[in-house]
Chain A
């Protein structure tokens, strides 16, 4: 948002936003803060339970499958692909926001389509992963995996895994829906008539947040 900012601006003197952003964008940031604490509470309760357990399943053993290859010993390969897809779709989202800055409608349409494709690909990957784990016997309340030291495991592992990746997946899904709505509005020329593409920026903030949460989910469930 190009806005004239004189030197020695007194931000809190009234008359304009002391944060130099429009209302909607600030509220999106505050919403994301509250969402960050929701995810934080989930992940930290997972951490608390894990710290209170004498042992825990080994992610390198649990997440070692890849579609088409099956039970090969390639730990974490598939989830890395998912991570790459999500980072990539974050990049195309920034490019869409950048195109919006220069009121380049075609650019916005092109990059929004790629972002939606990336989000859908991520959801597809997650659907495969969930289906695969389900067929191995993992679900809420059922855990076929042993702890890393060979002792029987509780269902805490699968309960947290499905709840948290499910909550994240639901965010990805709503992000894709929001992006599709943004794409339709762009194609219909709503933002051109409005004179700015700030809505794309707000959708972009949400989308990057989804990527940000995945970074933490990835570390907590697959690496640690």
Chain B
């Protein structure tokens, strides 16, 4: 009984482990559509300034993670491995959550401290309010 189960299991196993052409192309279309949507949003923002940039950045982060998921799960086939295998990759990758938050927070903190304690830095990196001097450059101009 054990033996018949094993052979049956092997066939089913080979079936689910072999690459499904349909799934490959479905993943391709998902990746392509997400990329096109990202571009459309970027261009929309560039032309009209409509979706506020901070909102758009959140959307881009989510869409990027979605693309990463599909590449790892389907193309790299991790979704079809056993749980032990998935966990040995997924758990260390969770460190990135801390990594990103800690370092972006650190950068932001440095910016605030510098603006507060170094008035020259703040003044020289902020856009000039009124055209007092004639040296003010046009935005977007190469210098």
The answer to whether residues A149 and B127 also contact, given A33-B92, A101-B19 and a CB cut-off of 8 A, is yes
CB distance from A169 to the nearest CB of B (A): 19
> Which among B19, B64, B104, B108 is the interface contact of A94 at CB below 8 angstroms?
B19
> Which among A5, A48, A216 is the interface contact of B107 at CB below 8 angstroms?
A48
CB distance from A196 to the nearest CB of B (A): 13
In the complex, what residues of A have CB within 8 A of residue B81's CB?
19-21
> Which among A6, A36, A83, A208 is the interface contact of B75 at CB below 8 angstroms?
A208
**B25, B75, B99, B139: most-surrounded residue (chain A CB, <10 A):** B75
| Contact between chains at B42 and A208 (CB < 8 Å) | no
In the complex, what residues of B have CB within 8 A of residue A3's CB?
10, 13
The answer to whether residues A29 and B71 also contact, given A4-B6, A19-B82, A144-B142 and a CB cut-off of 8 A, is no
Complex formed: what's the CA distance from A1 to B80 in Å?
11
Complex formed: what's the CA distance from A210 to B18 in Å?
23
| Contact between chains at A2 and B10 (CB < 8 Å) | yes
Give chain A interface residues in 95-113, CB to chain B under 8 Å: 95, 97-98, 101-102
In the complex, A40 has a CB within 8 A of chain B: yes
| Contact between chains at A5 and B85 (CB < 8 Å) | no
The answer to whether residues A87 and B60 also contact, given A50-B107, A152-B143 and a CB cut-off of 8 A, is no
In the complex, what residues of A have CB within 8 A of residue B143's CB?
144, 146, 152
> Which among B2, B24, B35, B99 is the interface contact of A83 at CB below 8 angstroms?
B35
A-contact 0/1 string along B86-113, CB 8 Å cutoff: 0011001101100110011011101100
> Which among A4, A49, A204, A222 is the interface contact of B9 at CB below 8 angstroms?
A4
Complex formed: what's the CA distance from A83 to B63 in Å?
15
In the complex, what residues of B have CB within 8 A of residue A222's CB?
42
Interface size, chain B (Cβ < 8 Å) = 69
> Which among B39, B106, B125 is the interface contact of A55 at CB below 8 angstroms?
B125
| Contact between chains at B68 and A212 (CB < 8 Å) | yes
In the complex, A45 has a CB within 8 A of chain B: yes
In the complex, what residues of A have CB within 8 A of residue B79's CB?
none
B-contact 0/1 string along A211-224, CB 8 Å cutoff: 11001100100111
In the complex, A72 has a CB within 8 A of chain B: no
Complex formed: what's the CA distance from A137 to B57 in Å?
28
> Which among B88, B99, B122, B140 is the interface contact of A40 at CB below 8 angstroms?
B99
| Contact between chains at A151 and B126 (CB < 8 Å) | yes
| Contact between chains at A209 and B76 (CB < 8 Å) | yes
Complex formed: what's the CA distance from A223 to B38 in Å?
8
A-contact 0/1 string along B29-58, CB 8 Å cutoff: 001100110110011001000000000010
Complex formed: what's the CA distance from A137 to B124 in Å?
23
- The chain B residues found within 8 Å of chain A, CB to CB, are 2, 5-7, 9-10, 13-14, 17-19, 21, 24-25, 27-28, 31-32, 35-36, 38-39, 42-43, 46, 57, 60-61, 64, 67-68, 71-72, 74-76, 81-82, 84-85, 88-89, 92-93, 95-96, 99-100, 103-104, 106-108, 110-111, 114-115, 122, 124-127, 137-143
Q: List 17 A-B contacts (CB under 8 A).
A: A18-B84, A40-B99, A47-B107, A51-B106, A52-B114, A87-B32, A91-B24, A91-B27, A101-B19, A136-B142, A144-B143, A151-B126, A152-B137, A209-B76, A215-B68, A219-B60, A219-B64
